[in-house]
Structure 1
Amino acid sequence: MQNLTAHLNMIRAMKMKPNFSELARIYGMDRRTVKKYYEGYEGKPKNRNKPSKLDKYYDEIKSKLAIKGVTVKGVYEYLKSKDETIGTYSNFNKYVKKKGLKPEKKIKGHPRFETDPGEQAQVDWKENIKLVSRNGEEFIINVLDFKLGYSRYCCFEINRTKTQEELIETLIRIFKDIGGVPREILFDNTAAVVDITGEKIKVNSRFKSFAKDFGFEVKLCKPRHSYTKGKVEAANKFIDWILPYQGEFETEEDLVRIIKEINAKVNMQPNQTTQVPPALLFQKEKEYLQPLPDKRLIDSYLNSYKSVKVQKDSLIYYKGSKYSVPPEYIGKTVQVKEVENKIYIYYNTNLLRIHVIDEKNINYHDEDYKQLMLMRVGQREELNKICEENLKKFDNLLKT
């Protein structure tokens, strides 16, 4: 094209009349194209300002990436949960870089450690994550990340206190979920696991007994050597996916649900090292896990839970008041745990409801009551109105 342009410039300079057909034959193009160039056409611009489908999210992407600790992947997953048409992560990342929305970080190299199926799991916490709800309520949470070394299959659990009691209960819940126990678990030097006296660090005697009862060996990560727990700390990046939900949720139950959704996504996406989704490799690894101990031994570590039966009105009784669970659990036995003026109601390992302890005799979650009424009423049209009126009557009755 440069030769044609030069030829046309020469013709202009010599004030000759161009033969478009002859020029088209010489340069192998349509005579109309030659004429267009003669009349001033300069070709398509090299850098076209083509609009992106992400442009409408520019301000939101910018504000989410300004949140301390948030990742590009986290913002992408958040937006994708709102709009499935935003495209691939690769294009999203290119857009972010092109717009200069996220500075690049320097990456330090470190060795990788691989383990056999069922051999090792790694545990870490993402601590003091501050999130503000849509209503302005502040939540400060800790997220425990348990990751199997071979498959990279991970379990994210909200930890409210990081105490030894809660750690043990959380690990038991995870062991039940994955159907077994790895041969060793790697921890950092957290107070829930170790006793520190001066420069001496040793595993706490009670936690050592717990490990012995469940058949795993406690391994400690060297201080300031985070690469020894690199698999799980890499997964902590995924926990940052929750940060874009700042101001996008209402209750603690919403946070639990969001964490579980993120957890499921992580296990279904191909791992960068293995190139295989963790959920797929886990099907092999779970065969190598050690069996759970006797139920009586497990229950001895869960004595802080109270077992109660769900009544026909979808309520359970706890300390003089009644609290609701979803109606599908009517007639089943659930476990109740009290933490900081709230009760957490579980069925097996599933968290069903969180209620603030209240002096009211009856405490229904709106959704539980609607589902219960739907079973009775049988039609949804007037359901919301009926439920709203009935719940108001409940409150007024309990006040008198």
Structure 2
Amino acid sequence: MSVTKAKMQKLRGEIAFMKENYPGLKPNFSAMSKEIGISRQTIAKVWKDPTSPSKPRQKRKSKFDPYYQEIREKFEIQSTTIKAVFQYMKARYPEVFTSYDSFKSYVRANKLTEVREEYLKSHVRYETEPGEEVQIDWKESIQFTLSTGEVIEFNLFAAVFGYSRYTVFIYSRTKTTEDFIRCMIELMIRTGGVPRSFKTDNMSAIVSTFSGQKRKLPVIRQFEKDIETPIRLCRVRQPQSKGKVESANRFVSWLEPYQGELSSEEELIETIEKINRQINQESSRTTGYPRVLLMKKEKEHLRPLNRIPLLDSYLKEADTQKVPATLLVNYEGHGYSVPKKFIAKRVKLIRIEDELQIYYNNDLICTHQISDRPLNYKNEHYLDGLRDSIEPKKDETAEDYESRIQKKAEES
């Protein structure tokens, strides 16, 4: 109830009481006006006829009225702020949308903030907790012209983390089932973990149609088991359930200014990665925070990648090496040590961000931070190796022997 309506109800109540209990007494309209906060003329009118309805106030016309539907749609489409809608409308109609305060009053007078609240209520089920869900999709058949005149047709695998809105684009010439799995593995390795679920539409790379029913391909069902995470399919005709990744696809338009400017496919891929970084450094309109900032929190809730060698079986190129007597396996020209017991055994090397993980028979045996040093020995590996080359002296105690090895290691 508005303040004015409450005052009028109080006035009518007082006048009705006075007329019933003091029929011959006329009140002091000026004193009542000061007490209640209603004009003397209005009080006199109500005194004359307490039951007369108030004259409906005519709605004032606003310069924003012709744009009402467009303004309303902005609140319906996106859970945004009054300020954001004003800036959008100001950019489109600068001669009309000049005052933010006037616009804010118009929005509130027309209860457009309630439209926004209804939007938030009806879409709250699609907001996710950290690490809960990643939405994935293909942006298909993008044509890009190089400076040489060559036209490249490619696809972008797009993934959006539900909580942080952190976005990952992966370039792919084709979009086969093998491409889908490769991109999924690259996504998990890039971000360093696995969410509780993935969500996508009924893309042909993961489903087949039999007797009118769509079923996941056997290789996809096995892949789900290997990553220990379900890939959920969106319900038909409910695009809002996959809205985060479809919103991310709009960023592909950022590539358009580069048409005819890049000289090679490699430069195109580098540009996509640059745009990807820019997207994640910007604030999401929904959360109000930079995606890369919220991703730090989301990473804490991702399940560790502890079955990477098994996933490598899906890929043709896996970095497998036989451990030499030096205990050092080679990664990008730098040596990284493994425990002595794995000499002559074959191990797999997997890089996750700035960490090198080394596996034997699907078991993680050690990790190293990626380094520019030519040789990267863990202290315990190096000491273990020295014991093979340094014999204990006669009558030397175990403590003295270990001390001598430690000293030798420090001198090296």
- Aligned residue number for residue 176 of structure 1: 189
Identify the match of residue 149 of structure 2 among 126, 136, 154: 136
Aligned 8 A contact 2:312 2:318 in 1: no
- TM-superposed CA distance for 1:223, in Å, is 2.8
Distance 1:296 1:166, change over 3 A: same
Distance in 1, matches of 2:144 and 2:304, equals 38
- Aligned residue number for residue 262 of structure 2: 249
The letter for the 1-side match of 2:260 is G
Aligned 8 A contact 2:227 2:307 in 1: no
Distance in 2, matches of 1:149 and 1:280, equals 14
Question: Counterparts in 2 of 1:330-341, with a 5 A limit?
Answer: 330=333
- Aligned residue number for residue 268 of structure 1: 281
Distance in 2, matches of 1:224 and 1:203, equals 19
Distance 1:245 1:349, change over 3 A: farther
- Aligned residue number for residue 180 of structure 2: 167
- Aligned residue number for residue 220 of structure 1: 233
- TM-superposed CA distance for 1:330, in Å, is 4.9
- Aligned residue number for residue 214 of structure 2: 201
Distance in 1, matches of 2:247 and 2:320, equals 40
**Could you list the runs of 4 or more consecutive aligned residues of structure 1 that deviate by over 4 angstroms after TM superposition?**
90-99, 306-309, 328-333, 347-350
Identify the match of residue 305 of structure 1 among 317, 332, 341: 317
- TM-superposed CA distance for 1:293, in Å, is 3.0
- Aligned residue number for residue 229 of structure 1: 242
Per-residue CA deviation, residues 245-284 of structure 1 (Å, 9 max, x unaligned), is 1111111111111111111111111111110111111111
Specify which structure has the bigger relative contact order, considering alpha-carbon pairs within 8 angstroms and separated by 6 or more residues. 1
The letter for the 2-side match of 1:141 is F
Q: Secondary structure at the match of 2:267?
A: helix
Distance 1:250 1:95, change over 3 A: farther
Distance 1:132 1:294, change over 3 A: same
- TM-superposed CA distance for 1:98, in Å, is 6.8
- TM-superposed CA distance for 1:297, in Å, is 0.7
The letter for the 1-side match of 2:137 is D
- Aligned residue number for residue 200 of structure 2: 187
- TM-superposed CA distance for 1:187, in Å, is 1.1
- Aligned residue number for residue 280 of structure 1: 293
With the length of structure 1 as denominator, give the TM-score of the two structures: 0.50
Q: Is residue 125 of structure 2 the alignment partner of residue 126 of structure 1?
A: no
The letter for the 2-side match of 1:111 is H
The letter for the 1-side match of 2:287 is T
RMSD: 3.0
Q: Secondary structure at the match of 1:134?
A: coil
Percent identity at matched positions?
A: 37
- TM-superposed CA distance for 1:296, in Å, is 2.5
- TM-superposed CA distance for 1:240, in Å, is 1.7
Per-residue CA deviation, residues 279-325 of structure 1 (Å, 9 max, x unaligned), is 111111111111113342122121x226599xxxxxxxxxxxxxxxx
Unaligned runs of 5+ in 1: 1-89, 100-108, 310-327, 334-346, 351-400
- Aligned residue number for residue 56 of structure 1: none
Per-residue CA deviation, residues 184-239 of structure 1 (Å, 9 max, x unaligned), is 10011111111112421121111111111111111101233221100111111112
Per-residue CA deviation, residues 310-346 of structure 1 (Å, 9 max, x unaligned), is xxxxxxxxxxxxxxxxxx955689xxxxxxxxxxxxx
The letter for the 1-side match of 2:269 is V
Aligned 8 A contact 1:130 1:139 in 2: yes
